[in-house]
Amino acid sequence: MSARDDSGNERKPFPRRLAELGVSIVVLTGVTVVVGYGGWAVLTLLAKLGGPDPKTADGDPLRERLLAWPDRNREFMRNDGRGVLPLKP
């Protein structure tokens, strides 16, 4: 006669439950790694292939303006908030 839980269902033996837990961990870890690196690879491929390169109102590439924005914000903070707050890139 095998062990049953409170609901009357038959319980699996401990080694089998441990094996199922191990398989779940290995599978989920693998899926996480593949999806994580796969997403990175897709974004890298899209960046290499090109696509639209948005421009600002004055014609500068938006990516260059976005790269300079953190430095502008840091400069504002170094001046104790004096000056023009760069709210937009």
Looking at per-residue pLDDT, the higher value among 78 and 7 belongs to 78
Least confident of 1-5, 33-37, 43-47, 53-57: 1-5
Looking at per-residue pLDDT, the higher value among 23 and 40 belongs to 23
Q: How large is the average pLDDT for residues 25-44?
A: 87
Q: What is the pTM of this model?
A: 0.40
Q: Is the dihedral of CA 58, 59, 62, 67 positive or negative?
A: negative
8-23 tens-digit pLDDT: 678 889 999 999 999 9
Of 61, 89, 57, 62, nearest in space to 73 by CA: 89
Band (89; pLDDT cuts 50, 70, 90): low
> Phi/psi of residue 10, each to 5°?
-75, 135
Residue 29 buriedness (CB in 10 A; 0-12 / 13-18 / 19+): exposed
Percent of the chain with pLDDT over 90: 20
